[in-house]
Structure 1
Amino acid sequence: MAMKKVPGRWRQIPSGSTATSEKGGDMAKLCVVGAGVVGQATGKGFLKLGHDVTFVDVNADTVEQIRSNGFSAIFPEEIILRDVEAVFISVPTPTAEDGVNLSSLDQACHDIDSALAVFQSRPVIVFRSTILPGTTRKHLVPLLEKAAGDSRVGEHVCYNPEYLRERHAQRDFDCPRIITIGQSVRSEDAAHRLAELYHPFDAKVYRCGYEEAEFQKYVNNLFNAAKISFFNEMREMAKGLGIDPTLAFQLTVRSAQGMWDPLYGIHDKGVYGGACLPKDTNAWIEYMEESGFNPIFMQAVREINRSIGGA
């Protein structure tokens, strides 16, 4: 049972049981638009629960490959949404010179609208692509409503970020750590319907606003990028100093609070301070610069701290 709605706050929806023979209620017809890594993991995950899934893709080789493996796959012009409960859109959103390229996403919206115009039923439209905060509310919902000629389409739109690793996408979908559903006030019912589809998974479901969910997906990815870059810089510094960093990194996993405490640093407590962090950051940067190295990452760390009033 969902908790009461609290505007602007994250809400946790209790998880269901693991998917066995009691597959969480009635089976649904689902459509997955964009049959790449994310799309196929999503569709095949729901297939395992007994749902009726049709994959949609523009690439003939992809469609043929899916069909050859015994699954249903069609081209966008063949989409029929009669009795479809949900449409998952997982097309790529690559970075272009002027920002995120939404062309594939826009085309997917037009393809869906063409099919929506034929039937009165309204499936939940679930965006899975990584998009910048505000994209769903300011771009995708108006695009869908304009193309469909129906201002009520936005009542059925959710944003559902994926947390899938490319090499382990299927396993990650089947065994999710969390499930996040972004919604608007208008799409409360759609978010509930989507949460019900995820009910059989042994994971907590969190519902929040569109922008919060879009932002969180970027925070998720950028944190991973930042952590990798930090240790890459430390590795390069170690090489320059003639030090093998392997043991140091392994010990850091066990000693640094930022590693063993997942909540460390996320609370709004302002700048880093205390007796150690400012002085050691400054000392390290000066030592590296005097040694002929350029500690770009740590310089940025210090500048961020200073920009909000720190040392």
Structure 2
Amino acid sequence: MARIFIVGSGVVGTATGKGFLHAGHEVTFIDVLPQRIDQLRSEGLDARDTLDLRAEPGAFLFLTLPTPNVGHRYDLSAFEAGSTSVGEALADAAEKHIVVVRSTVPPGTAEGLVQPLLEKYSGGRLGEDFMLASNPEFLRAASAVEDFRYPWMTVIASRSARTRERLAELLLPFGGEMRFFSDPAEAEFVKCAHNIYNATKISFWNEMWLVSQSLGLELDPIAQTVARSAEGSYNPLYGIRGGAPYGGACLPKDTQGFLGLADTIGLDMPLLRAVVAVNDTLAEKVDQEADALTADVA
């Protein structure tokens, strides 16, 4: 049985903590909102407003704090406050604890923000006095508890091999495929790309829906067919090699041609235009690098 603290007890934190409780671990929820603490306590859960590690054995401290956006940037103020409070608690700790960044954060947050704050307020050093890892969540709001208990993917990252092993031991019983990284920024990037990919796919089919409406066609059977016919849908490895623009006979022809079709029906397709623009930019970059290489050889 592991000792676990959930720092930030919103949807993600509550689902994470309840999942660990169901697996038989000892869990304490930490939050700054009195109403949230009262709600958790009304469910018979151990919820507190202060993290105290003075009498605790080596524990896992999961940071599940909110990271909303403000315009085109993440607001990490709650993450800074939470990391500061954890650092202060670590200053009084007699044992070495593992701090786990579980929230969705921009790549580089664990080592660029959390680690300096933990070291500043604990007076300790990473590796000597505490450990640090990234374990991004893949929970849907409507089914967060079930998603935690039955994950399809678990991502663990830490500079420390032993820390990766300990997190794997904790999370392996839940099942699902496990992926390991030595750089926490890679795991943080995974979660950001995961969400952006989902958003892009939704916007793609919404743009296609606008076209289908203009043409008087029903999109659902078309989309369901493409989901089976397009290699980008059924092959998870298709198109993921970065630095290689698409080419060949079909993709350039149909992306450009479909933009012309949209023009004839008076419909703008900003996502498709962006697809073409990104590909053109990358193709130009690849050509320039090839020319430079040829010049060097010559």
Taking structure 1 as the reference length, what is the TM-score of the superposition? 0.86
- The answer to whether 1:275 aligns with 2:249 is yes
- Which structure carries more relative contact order (alpha carbon 8 Å, separation 6+)? 1
Looking at secondary structure, tell me which structure has more helix per residue.
Answer: 2
CA distance in 2, matches of 1:303, 1:86: 45
Matched residue SS, 1:99? coil
CA distance in 1, matches of 2:184, 2:91: 25
- The answer to whether 1:189 aligns with 2:189 is no
Equivalent pair of 1:155/1:190 in contact (CA under 8 Å): no
CA distance in 2, matches of 1:110, 1:293: 51
Taking structure 2 as the reference length, what is the TM-score of the superposition? 0.90
**Aligned residue among 42, 53, 64 for 2:27:** 53
CA distance in 2, matches of 1:211, 1:180: 12
- The answer to whether 1:167 aligns with 2:142 is yes
Equivalent pair of 2:4/2:60 in contact (CA under 8 Å): yes
Q: CA deviation at 1:204?
A: 2.9
Matches within 5 A, 1:27-42: 27-42=1-16
Equivalent pair of 2:53/2:92 in contact (CA under 8 Å): no
Q: CA deviation at 1:104?
A: 0.7
CA distance in 2, matches of 1:298, 1:115: 50
In structure 1, list runs of 5 or more residues that go unmatched. 1-26
**Aligned residue among 127, 132, 154 for 1:179:** 154
Deviations 1:4-40 (A, max 9, x none): xxxxxxxxxxxxxxxxxxxxxxx01110011111101
**Aligned residue among 77, 83, 102 for 1:103:** 77
Q: CA deviation at 1:191?
A: 2.2
Equivalent pair of 1:34/1:56 in contact (CA under 8 Å): yes
**Aligned residue among 221, 230, 237 for 2:195:** 221
In terms of mean alpha carbon deviation, does 87-96 or 202-211 score higher? 202-211
Matched residue SS, 1:30? strand
Equivalent pair of 2:245/2:282 in contact (CA under 8 Å): yes
CA distance in 2, matches of 1:81, 1:141: 23
Q: Aligned-pair RMSD on alpha carbons?
A: 1.8
Q: Please name the residue that 1:199 is paired with.
A: 172
Matched residue SS, 1:95? coil
Q: CA deviation at 1:98?
A: 6.5
The share of aligned pairs that are identical, in percent, is 38
Q: CA deviation at 1:81?
A: 6.0
Specify the code of the residue in structure 2 equivalent to 1:289. D
Task: Provide runs of 4+ in structure 1 moved above 6 Å.
Answer: none
Q: CA deviation at 1:128?
A: 0.6
The number of residue pairs the alignment matches comes to: 283
Q: CA deviation at 1:78?
A: 5.6
CA distance in 2, matches of 1:64, 1:83: 26
Q: CA deviation at 1:48?
A: 0.9
Equivalent pair of 1:87/1:126 in contact (CA under 8 Å): yes
Deviations 1:253-291 (A, max 9, x none): 121111111111113471111211111111100110122
Q: CA deviation at 1:241?
A: 1.8
Equivalent pair of 2:91/2:121 in contact (CA under 8 Å): no
**Aligned residue among 60, 63, 66 for 1:86:** 60
Equivalent pair of 2:108/2:185 in contact (CA under 8 Å): yes
Specify the code of the residue in structure 2 equivalent to 1:175. Y
Specify the code of the residue in structure 2 equivalent to 1:180. V
C-alpha spacing 1:119/1:62, structure 2 compared with 1 (3 Å): same
Q: CA deviation at 1:90?
A: 0.2
- The answer to whether 1:287 aligns with 2:279 is no
Specify the code of the residue in structure 1 equivalent to 2:214. G
Q: CA deviation at 1:96?
A: 1.9
Matched residue SS, 1:96? coil
